[in-house]
Amino acid sequence: MSRLATIALCCLPLVAQAQPITVSDCDWQSNAQNIPEPWEAHSRTFANGNVRLTMLDTIEPALGWAWLMVQSPPEQDWGGRQCKLLGLDGAGFAGMKFDTLNADYDPSVGLMFSLLVDVFNPATGDSDTLPLWLTLNQSTGAIDAKLRHD
C-alpha cells in the first residue's frame, strides 16, 4: 500500500469528525410533511412557547435524512419567528434520537440544548452516535452548534 493511501485511510475517522454543523435558513426540508408522526413526540417547545425544536425526516438522502428545525426569536420583519435548519455539512444527519433532547438555560449564554445524532463514518461504513450541543441566543437569534467527540 502506498504511503499516501495509508495516510488517507488513517485520516478517514478525523474527516468524519471534522464535518461542520450547518445552520441555515429553513427551506424545503422544513415542510410539515417531514415531521414524523406522532408530531408531539418529535417537536418540543421551550421559553414559554417562544422556541420550538422539531425533528424532520426527509427520507433521502439515506445517510442524511434527519434534520433539526429551530423556530425562535427574534421575530422577522413580517412578524414570524426565525426558522433555522441544523444539519451536517449541508445535508441532514444519518439519524436522530429526539427523545434524548435535553434543555437548560444560562443567562450568560442563552438556551442550551443537547441530543444524540447519528453521523456516518466512512471508515467503518456505519454510523456513530454523537451528542449534538447547541446554544440559542433569543435576543440575537444566534445559534452555535457542534458535535461532541469524546
Taking only the tens place, the pLDDT of each residue in 14-60 is 444 557 899 999 999 999 999 999 999 999 999 999 999 999 999 99
pLDDT for 78 equals: 78
* 79 pLDDT higher than 80: no
Q: What is the largest CA-CA distance in the chain?
A: 60
| Confidence category of residue 76, pLDDT binned at 50, 70, 90 | confident
* CA 118/CA 51 separation, integer angstroms: 24
Report the mean per-residue pLDDT for the chain.
88
Burial 119-137 (b: 16+ CB within 10 A, else e): bbbeeeeebbebebbbbbe
Residue in the block written with cell 438556551: 111
The percent of residues above 90 in pLDDT, for the chain, comes to 79
Q: In this predicted model, what pLDDT tens digit does every residue of 83-97 receive, in sequence order?
A: 999 999 889 999 999
pLDDT for 46 equals: 97
* 127 pLDDT higher than 70: yes
| Confidence category of residue 75, pLDDT binned at 50, 70, 90 | confident
Q: What are the sequence ranges of the domains in the chain?
A: 3-147
140-149 average pLDDT score: 94
100-129 average pLDDT score: 97
For residue 37, give Cα distances in angstroms to 8, 41, 54, 83, 100.
41, 7, 12, 21, 17
